[in-house]
Amino acid sequence: MRNVMPVTVTTRVEDDLAQTIDKIAKTEGMDRSTVIRRFLSKAVRDWVIQTSLDQYEHGKITLWQAAKRSGLSLWEMIDEVKRRSIHVPYTAEDLEEDLKGLPFA
């Protein structure tokens, strides 16, 4: 079972970064911690997607596997491939494997 209790993480940032975060928090009507949590969550999500796409691009996993690892649907992952200009030689076997994950396949 996944731990849903918040964990406190402490880190130091440069003064300029802290000031920028505070400006964003004020603009968005949030506190500093909320802004940091949202940015951190987005950065981690982007890292997971990019890492999965890197593995896909190098032929280590299928696009379907990359989507599952990233918590995305196959169609969302296809959009990410287009958006990030990922180029991969795609075989008929890859297509067959990806289609297995679709509900109508």
Pair 59, 88: CB distance under 8 Å: yes
2 inside domain: no
1 inside domain: no
6 inside domain: no
Decide if pLDDT at 91 tops 80: no
Q: What pLDDT does 10 receive? A: 92
Which is higher by pLDDT, 32 or 103?
A: 32
5 inside domain: no
User: What is the domain count for the chain?
Assistant: 1
pLDDT tens readout for residues 40-79: 999 999 999 999 999 999 989 989 999 999 999 999 999 9
Give the structural domain span for 27: 15-100
87 inside domain: yes
Q: Give DSSP secondary structure letters for 16-36.
A: HHHHHHHHHHHHHT--HHHHH
pLDDT above 70: percentage of residues in the chain: 94
Decide if pLDDT at 15 tops 70: yes
Decide if pLDDT at 2 tops 70: no
10 inside domain: no
92 inside domain: yes
Say what the pTM is: 0.74
Q: How many Cα atoms are found within 13 Å in the side-chain-facing hemisphere of 90? A: 12
In which region does residue 98 sit, left (phi positive, over 0), alpha (psi from -120 to 50) or beta (all else)? alpha
pLDDT above 90: percentage of residues in the chain: 66
91 inside domain: yes
